[in-house]
Chain A
Amino acid sequence: MTRAVDLGVIACEGCELVMQAPRDVDGRCPRCGETVRSRNPRGASRTWALLIAAAALYVPANMLTMMHTEQFPLRRSDTILSGIEFLWSEGSWELAMLVFVASICVPLVKLLALGLLLVTSHRGSTWRPRARTKLYRVLEVIGHWSMLDVFVVTLLTAVVQLGRFASVEPGPAVLPFAGVVVLTMLASASFDPRTIWDGAA
């Protein structure tokens, strides 16, 4: 395998134009104007910062109430998890599984996987680089699916306004939850997968 870093060539991430470039020198792509750089020296610390912030928000996102439901004379407050239990018992188990995967598994997998990628890249690990690259590509694809519950809660709030008979209100967990999704998306975007291979070569 021949790597661009070793040949002294670089491809623009925006338009794929291949050009000559010395390592770690920043410039702009002559064709599309995108910033071109071999490696971003501060990329990893940026990813760490976003990841730690996301992990901190993950706690209130799961502990606090996501949604208040009032159906006279009953009133209930659901966290993400109890909302899933409710969906399991009242609605359908398929959707309960779906929400469980999107709201609980996806953010957790993203936090753990990005942490793993950062640590192994930092150590110059030679452990299964192809599998780690695949893991990163999976993160890119599943990243935004955890926004599901935010959409569900806001939709329910918008539609359930039947006077005193029934109403739905978003709880305090909605904000940190949306924060986790946005921060983990920014974190995985700022991670450079090429660093997985820098130590492996």
Chain B
Amino acid sequence: MPDLAICSYCDTVHRRVELTERTTARCVTCHAPLYRTHPDLGAMLAVAITAAIALVIANTFPLVTLTSQGQQTQATVWRAIAVSYDQNLPFVALVLTITLVVAPILEIGSLLWILVPLCAGARPLGFATVMRALRALRPWRMVEVFLLGVIVAVVKLSALATATPRWGLYGVAAVTIALAALASFDPGALWRRAEQVAR
């Protein structure tokens, strides 16, 4: 029954209509978004590649450096994880690892895995598994919250010593923007596209 769309929030059944230019179909009962126009796969791929590059920068370069009386220290994502572990907070280290490293790497990796073959007109290997992984991971990716956390930390540090934002911070900001742009895609539309390719 490909002509039906069911609202996941209130269970209302709708007949699908073809959408014109970049709009979102909303549920008539509860106004939640139902589906969107077909995604521009080429544009999505470009943003996903940008996100991948930004993620490498975010995870390798220091986020902020602190200078006081000739001493300099710096914070990276990895150092924050290592320090939590050293402070006997393995659960916190685990939360940081999942929300800042594992979830974004897998999310961007899965998107590239799906988008590269789809753009070339082939059905991606393990499409169903990758799509399910994407759905499961999304809530646990917290790069955008971390970005705000780094900014708050920089302000707090300014009271203590000279705090300078570094490349890693701009990397985190770029990942946040790129993932926000990709989050608006409609999984149902990707599924329909994949089925067209399969035939």
The answer to whether A144 touches B145 (Cβ under 8 A) is yes
B68, B150, B158 interface centre (most CB from chain A within 10 Å): B68
Among the listed A16, A143, A162, A175, which residue makes an inter-chain contact with B68, where contact means beta carbons less than 8 Å apart? Answer: A162
Number of B interface residues in the complex (CB < 8 A): 68
Binary contact track B155-169/A, C-beta < 8 Å → 1, others 0 = 111111101000000
Given the complex, which residues of A lie within 8 Å of B128, measured CB to CB? Answer: 15, 31-33
The answer to whether A19 touches B1 (Cβ under 8 A) is yes
The answer to whether B159 touches A90 (Cβ under 8 A) is yes
In the assembled complex, the Cα of A7 lies from the Cα of B89 at a distance in Å of: 51
Given the complex, which residues of A lie within 8 Å of B29, measured CB to CB? Answer: 1, 130, 197
| Complex: chain B residue closest to A15, CB-CB | B191
Given the complex, which residues of A lie within 8 Å of B17, measured CB to CB? Answer: none
The answer to whether B155 touches A158 (Cβ under 8 A) is no
The answer to whether A154 touches B73 (Cβ under 8 A) is no
B20 within 8 A of A: no
Question: Given A133-B30, A137-B9, A155-B63, are A91 and B156 neighbors across the interface (CB < 8 Å)?
Answer: yes
Number of A interface residues in the complex (CB < 8 A): 69
Among the listed A19, A155, A175, A193, which residue makes an inter-chain contact with B91, where contact means beta carbons less than 8 Å apart? Answer: A175
Among the listed B6, B69, B129, B153, which residue makes an inter-chain contact with A18, where contact means beta carbons less than 8 Å apart? Answer: B6
The answer to whether B158 touches A91 (Cβ under 8 A) is yes
Binary contact track B29-73/A, C-beta < 8 Å → 1, others 0 = 111100100000000000000000000000000011110110101
In the assembled complex, the Cα of A33 lies from the Cα of B127 at a distance in Å of: 11
The answer to whether A130 touches B31 (Cβ under 8 A) is yes
Count of inter-chain pairs, beta carbons less than 8 A: 207
The answer to whether A9 touches B6 (Cβ under 8 A) is yes
In the assembled complex, the Cα of A149 lies from the Cα of B163 at a distance in Å of: 19
Given the complex, which residues of B lie within 8 Å of A193, measured CB to CB? Answer: 8-10
The answer to whether A154 touches B30 (Cβ under 8 A) is no
In the assembled complex, the Cα of A129 lies from the Cα of B12 at a distance in Å of: 13
Given the complex, which residues of A lie within 8 Å of B181, measured CB to CB? Answer: none
B87 within 8 A of A: yes
B73, B142, B156 interface centre (most CB from chain A within 10 Å): B156
Binary contact track B64-97/A, C-beta < 8 Å → 1, others 0 = 1110110101111001111110010101100110
In the assembled complex, the Cα of A73 lies from the Cα of B35 at a distance in Å of: 59
Among the listed A16, A71, A90, which residue makes an inter-chain contact with B191, where contact means beta carbons less than 8 Å apart? Answer: A16
The answer to whether B155 touches A91 (Cβ under 8 A) is yes
Given the complex, which residues of A lie within 8 Å of B140, measured CB to CB? Answer: 144, 185
Q: Contact residues of A with B, CB < 8 Å?
A: 1-5, 7, 9-11, 13-19, 31-34, 71, 87, 90-92, 95, 98-99, 102, 129-130, 133-134, 136-137, 143-145, 147-152, 154-163, 165-166, 169-170, 174-175, 178-179, 182, 185, 189, 193-194, 196-197
The 3 residue pairs across chains A and B that have the minimum distance between CB atoms: A151-B149, A16-B188, A11-B6
